Amino acid sequence: ENVKISATGAQHGGGDGEDWICLAGVDDIEADILHYSGHGMDLVKALGGCSPDHTTILLAHQPLAAKRALQARPDINLILSGHTHAGQIFPLNVAAYLLNPFFAGLYQVAQTTFVYVSPGTAYYGIPMRLGSRAEITELILRRA
């Protein structure tokens, strides 16, 4: 099948009929906070082409974006996120845990809604991890 990826717009993939997946992405939520012109988490633009009748997957760098996205569109089925590095270094992992609604791993938010936060494979700043693990995640999507 043909799949197109867009940083801030919805794309559909699948065959004819009901087998559609809407894959959408949003800019980093920090772009809103830091007032970067032309950037920001535009959920209306990103999810505008996503019908509640089809499976919707949203790519959002920060887990804070997942919380905002689900408040606006509770019909999103899966949000894939990262950013936290699972805290990376003790005691920073305690702060990361307290500041993020979703810290690391898989969360079931509703009957058909999940958020997955990858701890990532690398690091931020100091080239080490202490009290957190690196992870390469493989997600397998199956028809329900």
Per-residue pLDDT tens digits of the chain, which is 144 residues long = 444 455 555 555 555 556 678 888 888 777 777 777 777 777 888 888 788 888 889 988 778 888 888 988 899 999 998 765 565 566 777 777 677 778 788 999 988 889 998 876 666 666 666 666 777 788 888 776
Which element (helix H / strand E) includes 20? strand 20-25
Looking at residue 1, its pLDDT comes to 43
What is the signed CA dihedral for 83, 88, 92, 94, rounded to 10 degrees? 80
Q: With 0.85 as the threshold, say if the pTM is over it.
A: no
C-alpha–C-alpha distance, residues 74 and 5, integer Å: 22
Alpha helices in the chain (DSSP H): 30-33, 43-47, 63-72, 92-99
Looking at residue 56, its amino acid is T
Domain boundaries, the chain: 11-117
Looking at residue 77, its pLDDT comes to 92
Looking at residue 55, its pLDDT comes to 87
CB distance 29 to 7 below 8 Å = no
CB distance 60 to 66 below 8 Å = yes
Hey, what long-range contacts does 51-54 have (CB within 8 A, 24 or more apart)? 51/20, 51/22, 53/18, 54/12, 54/18, 54/20, 54/21, 54/22
